[in-house]
Structures are given as C-alpha cells and as structure tokens.
Chains A and B, each alone.
Chain A
Amino acid sequence: MANFSKSTVPQFSVEVYQNEYLPEGGREVNAIVTVTATGGGTSGGRPLADAGQPSAARGAPDAAVVVMVDCSGSMEYPPAKMRNAREATAAAIDTLRDGVAFAVVAGTHQAAEVYPGGGRLAVASPATRGQAKEALRRLRSGGGTAIGTWLRLADRLLASSDAAIRHGILLTDGRNEHESSEDLRATLDACAGRFTCDARGVGTDWEVAEVTGIASALLGSADIVADPAGLAADFTRMMETAMGKEVADVGLRVWTPQGAEVQFVKQVAPTVEDLTGRRTDAGPRAGDYPTGSWGDESRDYHVCVRVPDAGVGREMLAARVALVLPVPSGEAPRTLAQGLVRAVWTSDLAASTQINPQVAHYTGQAELARAIQQGLDARKSGDMDGATARLGRAVQLASASGNEDTAKLLAKVVDVVDATTGTVRLKAKVAEADEMTLETRSTKTVRVKK
C-alpha cells in the first residue's frame, strides 16, 4: 500500500550519464538523464507545490480523479466482464484518500455521469464512497463506444476542481467504433496537459494502438487485463499510484546552445515514450517537454543533441536539462533540479570512442520496442520472414539487456532457438491475449544492471 498520509511534495534530483568526449569534427552528443523524485517526510520542509496551488493546505489531498467505465453492449459478453468492471471500480473507489475529489463516468457511444452527477465532483469520505458504490449497481451495458466523449466529460468534471493532480482512469473492452479516429485524436490533443490518464483494455477485442495512444497522449500508463478477474487488483494499483502523485505538470526543460539542434528527447524508463514532437518553446534556445505528475519515482530520459563543431581542446555546454514547475501567476517557472550535458573535443580516441553504458543500454531498449512493433506488424500483414527477423532481433536484445519480462512475453509468440544470436521460429498458434500483451508492453524497459 502506498503511504497516503504523506503530505510533502518531492525533491527532484538530476543525474547525467554521458561520454562527453567527441572526436575531431564530432557533433552528436548523447546523454541519459536520470530524474528522481524523492518525497514524503524527507523533503526537509521545502514545499514545492505550495507555490501555485491555493487549495493545498499542507496535508490535505490535492487530487481529483475520474473513473471512466466502458458500458457498451459488448461488456455483457461474457456477463462476468461487467460484473468485474463494477467490482474493480468499487475497489478503486475504496482506495481513494479522504478528501480527494472524484466522479464515475459510464461510457458508451456517449458519456453519462454515474456519480455524483450534476457536472461536479464528490469529495471522498466514507459516506460518498458508499454512495458511489451503490450507484455502480445501476450500471447497465448497452450501446456503442465513443471514447472521445468519455474523455471530454472527464475533462469538464476535472476542470471544475482546482486540484493540482488531475487524473483519469479509463477502461474499455472494444474498439472506438462510434467516432472517427480523427475525433479521438482531436480530443486527446485538447485534453493533453489538462489531466493525466491511465488506460486499460479488458479482454482481447480492443485496439492496442487506441489504448496506448490514449495513455501516451495523456502521460499515463497503458496495459492489458486479458482476464476480467484481474481488474480489481489492477484498478487498486492504478489508484494507489495516482494517490501517490505529489506534484503535477512538471516539464523537462532542455536548453541548447546557438546553432545546436535537439535530435530527440525520449523517456526511456520505465517505458519508452518519444517526447520530441511535444516540445513547446520556452524562451531563447529552450523548450519544455511534458512529463506529467510525479510521486516517489525515478525516470530516465535520453537526450540527443547535435552541436556545432568547436575543435579539439574546446569544451561546450551541449544542453542544460532542468525540471520545471509552472507558477500560475505567470512568473518564470520554478526550477526543481538540473543537470549539464557537456561536449569536450579531444584527439584521444580512447576517450572519444567510448560509448557510455547507459546510453548504449537505452539505445538498445528503444530498438527492442521498435523491433517488437515491426515484428508484430509484419506478422499481421503476413510477412513471416520479416516478422521472424525482427522478433529474433527483439529476443536477442531482451536477452542481452536482461529485460526478462519482455523476453517471457516474446517466448509466447516465438519459439526461441538461440537467444544470444536471436534465432527464433514463429509459433504457429499464438493466443490473441499473448500477442496483445506483448504489443501493449513492448515499450517497457529495464534499467542498466549495476
């Protein structure tokens, strides 16, 4: 169980791992930036969130959560699915801290407020939790699926709260059939940055790209719950994580020197998430990349910058990477922590040809995620040779980097002949759930073995 009594916000620290030495004429600088938020009682009385969140009396929960439950007709097949969804939502409600604002939304081809109703949020207490669970009994399945409408309702409800942490939990069992993918895209664009959202697919009739797309756009997690019986435990975990968040809307600010180009900025742990295209300019030569909300956790980012060549013997600051927290009054955002990425040109080949182990590791993890995606795509399109090659490469990378969870998932889709060389055979029969699990979790990474 997470420690819900924790009232202080986290301290951020930044560590940079890189080989700063470039050969003569070298221009590409790679660095892994590890951001760690440690909070709770150890922050030494340096409140971070108090700056901008007026409601945040110390110790009072400063969060609002909306649970979106798929109630489309397909949820009755099998009937256990609806029952499990109801129970899972009840378990999530039980996990709410007292004082947290919350609501439950039923989603079909339209969205309906289940609790409390009236376009507002309830405040969690023993009484409201009981009423909410009572309201869940009235959930009936029937109708289609238009996830965008659910998200828009959640957005309206969350906007009625001034809580710093605004989070959604979304459960679906089917494809988004009753609105265009453009509509969903537009909704995600509109909601991005307004709240974060975890997305879950239950059963095997949903579209992996839709669920991961929602989580990616809204900076939450995505996963499959193939067996509806596992929903309650998963919902409890998700809510615990949400309750553990202590500061929201944290941005990763990357400054680069004149003439430099940011090649990419990716989150690489705990999952691969390319943030490059999500930059918003933040003053001269700086841009912010969204990271969402943080509890006690650590994430790694891979920053790649192309700098102008400065010549052997020179040293340059290739990037300054900072965690920033916006201040609502329009003042300059607060810098929570920062690290420096350097470039040093040397004629010492022994120095410049070293590849930093962290950079190498995460370059491999990103390739692993890509290889799985390409392999599964090839398999779906009937390109068995391509699928074998890509999934073989994935097996090799997972084995070499010690990503055992992914290796196990791969072993359900291919027969591994030799993991070291990446020799595999495609399985003739693959359970749909196994393939979807692999696809959904393809972006999960492991950290460097210390």
Chain B
Amino acid sequence: MAVTGPSRCPGCGEPLESGDNFCGVCGADLSGTADGNAAAGDHPTLALTPQGAPRTAPGDGVPGGAYGGPGAGLPDEAYRAAPPPAPETRLPDAGVPADPRETLAVPTCVACRTGAVDQDGYCERCGHAQPRERDHFERALTRVAAVSDRGYRHHRNEDFFAVADTTLVDGSPAVLAVVCDGVSSATRPDDASRAAAETAAEALVTALPREPQPQQAMHDAIVAAAKAVDALAAAPDGPQEHDPYRRQNAPACTLVAAVAAGGVLTVGWIGDSRVYWIPDDRTAPGARLTEDDSWAAQMVANNLMTEAEAYADERAHAITGWLGADAYELQPHTKAFRPDRPGVVVVCTDGLWNYTEAADELAAVLPLDAGERPLDGARTLVHHALDSGGHDNVTVAVVPFPAPVRGAGSA
C-alpha cells in the first residue's frame, strides 16, 4: 500500500488533488498513470526517474538515505514516499530499474508536449525548464510525514525538510522533523536549506540516543546545521552559476525542528519558520510554539509597536536570524513542552503560515484525523497554501503527539 500521492500534472505541471482523473488546467488524462488506490499516484516527474515505484534500495543518493538512517529501521519501505534524488543524478541512464513504466524512456516536455528534454533539463524545442524532483516531494514514516511544494510564483523550491525516527537514551522512541527555508536573496538558497535540514536531522538521530537532554541535542543540531551552511559559502560556485545579483550573499536559510519523545515536545529554530501545536480536541486552543526572528516580532517583543502596527510594516517579514556565513551571531532558540493532551505538531515554513497565521486558522484547515494520517494532513495544509495563492515555497511536516508507541502502550 503505497502512499505516494498525486502531486503535479504530467502534462502541465499543475498541482493535483488526490483522486483527480483529469488535470483541471490542461485536461490531461491522469487515469492511465495508476490504479484506483494510488489514483494518479505517479509523480509527474516519473518520466525522468523511477520514483513512482516503491523504493527498495535505501541510500541510493536520495536525501532520505542519510537522515532516514538505515539503522533507524524504517518501519515500512513502502511509506517512503519518493524523496527526490540529487538534481544532478536524476537523468535517465542505463541503470534505471526494470519498471515497465520506465520503458517509455525519452522524456517529453511538459510545456509543449512535443520536444525532447535535453541533458540540462530544458525542452529542446520550447526551452521550458522541466519539473524537478524538488518541485514537489513527500515523505512519510509511520508517525511523521512531510510535504514540500514549489508553489506557483517561485521558479524553484528553496525549502527542504527531513524526517526521521530514533530513540532516546532510555530506548523510548523519538520522532523528529526538520524544516528549512532558503533565503531567496542569498546565493544557492536551495543548497543551504538542504544542507541544514539533512545535517540537523542527522545530528539529532545521532545525539538523541546518547544525550539525556533533548534540548541540548537540539541546540547542538542547530549549531551543526549552521556550520554546514557556512561551509557552502566557502565552496566554489558551480560552473553555470553566474548570479551576480546574489553572489554577494552567502548561502542562508531558516531552520525549525521538533522532536516528539517521552511525553516531551522539544522545538528549536532560527528564523521565521514555525511550529504550531494543535490539540486533537479542537475545542482546546492551539498555540504557536516559536517566536520568529523577524523585524516585526522584535518590534513587538521590545514593546516598540503593537502587533498590528508591526505586521503592517513592509519590513515585517525581514528576518533577523538565519543560518549562513553572514549571520551576525548564531543564537539558536530551543524550548521544551509537556503537552497535557494528545495533538498534532505542525512544523512549517512561511509559505503555509502566511495563509494560516493564527493557530486557530491552522486548526480550521487541519483535518481532524491528522494524528492518524499525518501525510494526508500535511498534504491538506500544502494544498491550502497553494489554493490561497501559493506565493512562496511551502513545506509542512506533521508530527502526531504523543508518539505512537506510547499511545499504544497506554491503550
């Protein structure tokens, strides 16, 4: 039972709802791509890679390989919802597995549907860039899921996420999610978010079984992620990256992470990506658990402006903290919570919370069964952002709380 979901139309790249038989924009017939359950279940980019098929070869260059961690014991390989391979390795080659759908081979342009796609990922006829793996990617473990989408107005997805499970010192299970948002005005923001998310997740997976204080592990993971992003500034630009507009800025991104384990919810962040707490009992109030490193948040925190005044200012969303070589001073924020009831942790970039700023707005969109079906919950939130305009990249991770084993134990 694969839970790979529909993402974008193979014809025109438009995001799809699950269950669509035809693309609402170009009318492409989607029925041929999958059987009932996984209706339209293939990612549009399948023509380029074998990602629609359940992956059985972990660690083959996909981002999941590292932070998913072979040792972490993925409960069900079929749940690995096709995270993207590295862009430079995604071209079809002789080593493609023998999935019958793959024999369609030569990819055709999604824009003009006539031209062949060249080795640089552009149509040989109309020149349009082809959808990239990172345009939309999803990943689900048993009790954590995340979805990331390019949105409508940005030409690439500069967000990245990592989800993993591991254990605490006492052997009890821990679930974690890291979400990063590349700073668009910096160079290679997509590389920054990816490096930060993967590094932080790996650090947490390694540290949580050894470090008795999850909050310390969180702090260390953010510092490790910061170093990874700093290191990108030193690396030479790729041969084709001539981007003087951005060149002066070192790669940078935000980071937000949540660890659910042992009845404690640990969050850490830098920048303006957020964590929300939404109780399963929706009559109880939800809450935002993070404080943005942003101009507006600082104005409010220092009692210089009211919240309404601050957020009305055009500088409101300018971030005052980030990971990257040109950050003033790294001040990771960490907090620990002990929720008194079951609920769902939503970890997200501003691509979502721009449309669901208040916790109750978010709660109104989040399905009631998000705790049971985190991937569907994450998808629903991403689609909400896209339906609201999709002005930014949008990334959402959903972490049910308490973690399942504990829940199972108490049942």
Contacts and interface: CB of A to CB of B under 8 A. Distances in A.
Contacts of B115: 258
Given A16-B240, A21-B245, A351-B245, A318 B128 contact: no
Given A258-B112, A354-B245, A313 B154 contact: yes
B174 to A, nearest CB: 38
A396 to B, nearest CB: 24
Contacts of A351: 245
B185 interface: yes
Contact of A307 (B125, B127, B243): B127
A317 interface: yes
A237 to B, nearest CB: 33
B25 to A, nearest CB: 12
Interface residues of A, number: 36
A312 B120 contact: no
B152 A258 contact: no
Given A19-B244, A351-B245, A317 B153 contact: no
27 contacts: A16-B240, A18-B242, A19-B244, A256-B127, A257-B125, A257-B126, A258-B125, A258-B126, A260-B127, A285-B125, A310-B111, A310-B128, A312-B152, A313-B150, A313-B152, A314-B155, A315-B128, A315-B156, A316-B127, A316-B128, A317-B118, A317-B128, A340-B122, A340-B240, A346-B155, A350-B185, A354-B245
Nearest to B150: A313
B141 interface: no
A347 B390 CA distance: 13
Nearest to A284: B125
Nearest to B246: A351
A20 to B, nearest CB: 8
A344 interface: yes
Interface string B129-157: 10000000000000000000011111110
Given A16-B240, A345-B155, A316 B122 contact: yes
A350 to B, nearest CB: 7
Interface in A1-58: 15-21
Contacts of A183: none
- Which among A15, A257, A259, A354 has the highest number of chain B CB atoms within 10 Å? A257
Given A313-B154, A316-B122, A348-B184, A16 B127 contact: no
Contacts, number: 75
A15 B242 contact: yes
Interface string B106-126: 000001100100101011011
B129 A316 contact: yes
A258 B118 CA distance: 14
Interface string B304-333: 000000000000000000000000000000
Contacts of A356: 244-245
A59 interface: no
A36 to B, nearest CB: 13
Contacts of B111: 310
A116 interface: no
B129 A313 contact: no
A339 interface: yes
Contacts of B155: 313-315, 344-346
Contacts of A350: 185
A314 B244 contact: no
A357 interface: yes
Contacts of B244: 17, 19, 354, 356-358
Interface string B214-242: 00000000000000000000000000101
B245 A318 contact: no
A307 B152 CA distance: 20
Interface string B274-295: 0000000000000000000000
A354 B243 CA distance: 11
In order of increasing CB-CB distance, the 5 nearest A-B pairs are A257-B127, A317-B122, A315-B129, A317-B127, A315-B155
Contacts of A314: 128-129, 155
A346 B123 CA distance: 20
A178 B75 CA distance: 91
B91 to A, nearest CB: 16
A16 B242 contact: yes
Contacts of A344: 155
B129 A317 contact: yes
Nearest to B156: A315
A256 B126 CA distance: 8
Given A19-B244, A316-B122, A258 B129 contact: no
B120 A340 contact: yes
B185 A339 contact: no
Nearest to B245: A354
Contacts of B125: 257-258, 284-285
Interface in B250-293: none
Contacts of B152: 312-313
Contacts of B185: 350
Interface string B166-186: 000000000000000000110
A318 B129 contact: no
Nearest to B185: A350
A194 to B, nearest CB: 33
